[in-house]
Copies of this chain bind each other. A is one copy, B any other.
């Protein structure tokens, strides 16, 4: 007869212990295939436990397929393969995991990070709105959400785009998703994986990584001083271009109207051609109003406009959106409308309220002023440095970075290494360039440091002097 020590070592119930013991004996071969198990009654008597405990254990073994029953005869062990009983324990497998990347705080100063300064976010307001959303909407928050996001949020975004960007957009043209990376995935599915996509060179490397990870062919098109080279674009096989005409990262180029018209003309020449307008940091232009979007001057349903709140509110708030031309939204609804919206309803309604009540506009204005004062302070330090002759500041009117053109004989690799040796983390324009290094000089991309200043403390800014001294 099966004999087990059913002392409760863990929090398991008696029936679980019995189940586990019998299961292990079957897997281990101690109970052989098709061997008859004792009747519930006799096993209960033998182990001094209740029949119901044995019954529960047998039922579980039955439903997981360790034993089978023959009516009026009893229970039998299934014919199973011998299996190691237990997976390795936590302590044994811990060394499988590699440590995470090198910590950033090894650097005294980090000009490479474009993190958002945490303390600037109006937590108390956000928290208040969340509480309001919870109490006002209650169980409504659990109702299914349209695939393209909460109508209230889409309406708030459409109004914001009208007042802030002069864009005439209907809420039904907007699709909300958990971050721009996710929206790129959706766009690739919507527009088609068979197309060749054109990306800006230099450009934000994450974008090319996403296209690569999605097995999409793409070409890198050079920028001249007006933005994407239309000549090179025409020679390429690209059907879809992914650009940031209002403020290109990292060069800071604003594509002028004439080039925009040329790009739209290119798109209008073929039904399959589209323009993805990535407008991710247009809110932080320091002088004048934000640059008009390509979407606003597109009369042919060619432009898909993308923006995100991760950059304006906080990177850990994963809410982005795109504005689709009518026919593409229809296509999305038909072919991909089965996708659930990836942003939780709590946060969608909180953000909608944050925009509607004017907090978003105020927050952007506050951040713009803050970034401007950051920039001004840093420019002042550079100006006052005895080494200021070595550098020229470029593209300082927008966004969270500017370019420092360095008069030096060092290579970009040497510049960066020299900075690293002095505890300064920094990147060069050439880091954002795809293609062979000899083209760098040709395209005038060398010796240009990218200075991100969004998150740098005033005290730490003194170190810019240290940076200049080593160039």
Contacts and interface: CB of A to CB of B under 8 A. Distances in A.
Interface of A: 11, 16, 19, 56, 59-60, 63-66, 78-81, 83-84, 86-90, 93-94, 96-98, 100, 115-116, 118-119, 121, 123, 126-127, 130-131, 134-135, 138-146, 163, 168, 170, 172-173, 178-179, 181-182, 185, 189, 193, 206, 209-210, 213-215, 226, 254-261, 265, 287-289, 291-292, 296-297, 299, 310, 314-319, 326, 329-330, 333, 335-336, 338-347, 397
A207 to B, nearest CB: 10
A329 B330 CA distance: 37
Contact of A80 (B100, B178, B257): B257
Contacts of A146: 100
A339 B318 CA distance: 12
Q: Which 3 A-B pairs have the closest CB atoms?
A: A65-B256, A118-B139, A316-B345
Contacts of A145: 315-316
Given A142-B314, A193-B215, A16 B289 contact: yes
A142 B126 contact: no
Contacts of A127: 130-131, 134-135
B118 A140 contact: yes
Contacts of A80: 257-258, 261
Contacts of A342: 178-179, 181-182, 318, 342
16 contacts: A56-B288, A80-B261, A83-B297, A83-B299, A87-B299, A118-B141, A118-B142, A123-B138, A178-B178, A178-B342, A181-B340, A209-B338, A317-B344, A318-B343, A342-B342, A344-B347
A329 B83 CA distance: 25
A267 to B, nearest CB: 13
Nearest to A256: B65
A146 to B, nearest CB: 7
A104 to B, nearest CB: 9
